[in-house]
Amino acid sequence: MNNTTAYRGNIFYFNDTASLENLPKHKNDTSNQYVYIEDGILIVKNGKIDGVGSYATYKDKLSDIKVENCGTKLITPGFIDTHQHSTQSSIVAAYGEKLLEWLEDYVFPGERIYADHDCALKDMTFFLDHLLRNGTTTAVSYGPLFYDASDLFFAELNKRNMRFITGNILMDINAPATLKLSTQENYDISKKLIDKWHNKGRLSYCISPRFALATSEAMMELCGELKKAHPDLYIQTHLNENTNEVKEVKKLYPWSKNYLDVYDHFGLITDKTVLGHCIHMLDEELAQIRDSGAIVSWCPISNNFLGSGLFNYERTLKFTDKITLGTDWGGGNSLSMFAVMDDAYKVSMLNNQKLPSMHRWFLATYGAAKTLQIDSKVGNFDKGKEADFIIIDPDASPFLKYRRRGVEDIFELLFILMTLGDEKIINSTYIMGECAYRADK
Ligand code: GUN
Ligand code: ZN
């Protein structure tokens, strides 16, 4: 089937050579690592990018193709969220506690609803609809603890044809009896899910030990074995999010050199390991992240909401450029990558650092694709890439419509979108060229 559509509008994406090192920091910077076309055309054929350019150069070649006119809306690759809890929608916006108490008082009771099939299906359907409403097309996500709910989550993602990296969250210690499985049960569920879902369609399995306080040494040992048996699996966990958490980890693993060392001891620190938060880091831990190629997921809205601390972007960047952004939905009170990019800026200002607009947008799109090693498939509009993209309508917000008058360049446009944008300006979200969400439908 030859299924071709052209989208006409303003187009923005990063070149495949773009990196945090060579991205322009301001509009007078001549390093040209992005493509911005006013009145451009994006051609999508059979779910993949088939071409991109100015309308003027394409207009005579469009006679047989359906053209969707998006006016002055911005057509750009979908966002990539590298840390989120798909099971925490029911406890977002929970009052008054920091990490360890918040987990006990809100998160663990909330995640129990996933033991029930109907509740699980309702909650995950809402979650995925909301993710698409926010323009996120790919995520690294913690799934449910239980097999049935995890299987349902993979099936729902597969039905929606989303490129997703996820796995059942693992907990075998320090959790309430109703949200704890034995080490063997956790392992057996993981094996079954890997066999059924890993590399099926656009899905990748992620070994997901919750954190060192909820997974026994035996559990982490088994996680290491799974990774050895399937080297292309991802791993995700939490690291150095909260100072009390760091102290408890030291108590539970007195033999460890530092928090990262606990995971490393079991072979869990690899170039496909996504480490959420990484706030209270020792230099030696950052050096180890650099040497292993592990991936940092910075989650500023969650860190602000839970009072966890200020991630230091410039310090981290001195060690590694494998930095990405996550909502940490659950702890983060928004699924919008606009909110994440906005808080990343504010956290940097509190650290007396100016975070360039291009850097933030890169971290939330093509930078994350590169870091996750999926850049040959998604993240920009090079020919042959999977057509996961969003159409942003700044005029959907009365204030953005007002504020964008007089905006002269893409640097300023991105800056005001990140500072003032939210889900309301996502006009539509496309997955493999199919419209998966449209605001006016
Ligand atoms: N550390 C362990 N579990 C969690 C969780 O669910 N959310 C956050 N923010 N941190 C965690
Ligand atoms: Zn988290």
One domain, residues 91 and 45: no
pLDDT tens string 80-112:
999 999 999 999 999 999 999 999 999 999 999
pLDDT digits (tens, 9 = 90+) for 238-293: 999 999 999 999 999 999 999 999 999 999 999 999 999 999 999 999 999 999 99
- Residue 368: inside a domain: no
Does residue 124 contact residue 428 with C-beta atoms inside 8 Å?
A: no
pLDDT score for 292: 98
Q: Is the pLDDT of residue 415 over 70?
A: yes
pLDDT digits (tens, 9 = 90+) for 367-410: 999 999 999 999 999 999 999 999 999 999 999 999 999 898 99
Are residues 237 and 314 both part of a single domain? yes
Residue 19 forms part of a structural domain: yes
CA 423, CA 396: separation in Å to the nearest integer?
Answer: 10
Determine the distance separating the centroid of ligand 2 and the alpha carbon of 246, expressed in angstroms.
15
| Alpha carbon distance 129, 135 (integer Å) | 10
Per-residue pLDDT for 120 more than 50? yes
* pLDDT greater than 90 at residue 30: no
Relative to the alpha carbon of 103, which ligand is closest?
1
Q: Are residues 253 and 151 in the same domain?
A: yes
pTM of this structure = 0.98
Q: Is the CB of 107 under 6 A from ligand 1?
A: yes
Instruction: Band the pLDDT of 1: cuts 50, 70, 90.
Output: very low
36 within domain boundaries: yes
Residue 240 inside a domain? The answer is yes
* CATH label of the domain that carries residue 264: 3.20.20.140
Instruction: Evaluate whether 96 touches 416 at the Cβ level (below 8 Å).
Output: no
The pLDDT > 90 percentage for the chain reads: 97
The residue out of 304, 335, 366 marking a domain boundary is 335
Pair 71, 217 in one domain = no
Cβ 85 under 6 angstroms from ligand 1: yes
Whether the Cβ atoms of residue 138 and residue 80 lie closer than 8 Å to each other: yes
Ligand 1 pocket mutation, candidates 169, 238, 301, criterion most atoms within 8 A of CB: 238
Q: 212 pLDDT exceeds 90?
A: yes
Tell me, using a 6 A CB cutoff, whether residue 328 lines ligand 1. Answer: yes
Among 400, 440, 392, residue whose Cα is nearest residue 420? 400
pLDDT of 26 reads: 86
What is the predicted pLDDT for the residue at 31?
A: 78
Mapped onto helix, strand or coil, the DSSP state of residue 235 is: strand
Looking at the domain assignment, is residue 374 inside a domain?
A: no
Atom 9 in ligand 1: residue holding the nearest Cα: 331
Domain of 28, CATH number, reads 2.30.40.10
- Residue 192 within any structural domain of the chain: yes
Ligand 1 in contact with 330 (CB < 6 A)?
A: yes
Report whether pLDDT(441) > 90.
Answer: no
Q: Which residue, 178, 164, 172, 167, is CA-closest to 111?
A: 178
| Same structural domain, 60 and 182 | no
Task: Give the position, in ligand 1's atom list, of the atom nearest the Cα of 88.
Answer: 6
Mutate to test the pocket of ligand 1, among 103, 105, 274 (most ligand atoms within 8 A of CB): 103
Answer with the one of 301, 316, 335 that is the final residue of a domain.
335
For residues 110 and 222, membership in a common domain is answered with yes
Query: Residue 408: what pLDDT?
Result: 86
Q: Are 110 and 258 contained in the same domain?
A: yes
Q: Is the pLDDT assigned to residue 440 strictly greater than 90? A: no
Q: Is the CB of 241 under 6 A from ligand 1?
A: yes
**Ligand 1 centre distance from Cα of residue 296 (Å):** 15
Which residue, 278, 300, 335, sits at the end of a domain?
335
Shared domain for 29 and 114, answered yes or no, is no
Is 83 close to ligand 1, i.e. is its CB under 6 Å away? Answer: no
| For ligand 1, atom 11: residue with the closest CA | 238
Mean local confidence (pLDDT), 22-45: 92
* CA 233-237-241 angle, 5° bins: 155
For residues 238 and 255, state if they share a domain.
yes
- Tally the domains of the chain: 2
Structure tokens at 98: 């920091």
Residue 308 lies inside a defined structural domain of this protein: yes
The answer as to whether 12 is a domain residue is yes
- Please report which ligand is nearest the Cα atom of 88: 1
Q: What is the 60 CA–ligand 2 centroid distance (Å)?
A: 50
Residue 302 in contact with ligand 1 by CB distance below 6 A: yes
Measure the CA–CA gap between 111 and 107, rounded to whole angstroms: 6
Mean pLDDT of 27-31: 82
Rounded distance from Cα 242 to ligand 1 centre (Å)? 10
**Could you tell me the distance, in angstroms and rounded to a whole number, from the CA of residue 267 to the centre of ligand 2?**
21
Mutate to test the pocket of ligand 1, among 107, 170, 274, 301 (most ligand atoms within 8 A of CB): 107
How many whole angstroms separate alpha carbon 129 and alpha carbon 395?
Answer: 22
Gap from CA of 108 to ligand 2 centroid (Å)? 13
Atom of ligand 1 nearest to the CA of 302: 9
- Looking at residue 2, its pLDDT comes to 63
Q: What's the gap in Å between 243 CA and the centre of ligand 2?
A: 15
Judgement on whether residues 399 and 319 belong to the same structural domain of the protein: no
Q: Over the stretch 134-177, which tens digit does the pLDDT of each residue have?
A: 999 999 999 999 999 999 999 999 999 999 999 999 999 999 99
The answer to whether residues 392 and 328 belong to one domain is no
425 lies in the same domain as 314 = no
What's the domain range around 74?
4-78+380-438
At 32, the pLDDT band (50, 70, 90 cuts) reads confident
429 Cβ partners below 8 Å, 6+ apart? 78, 132, 133, 135, 137, 389, 390, 435, 436, 437, 438
CA of 84 to the centre of ligand 2 (A): 6
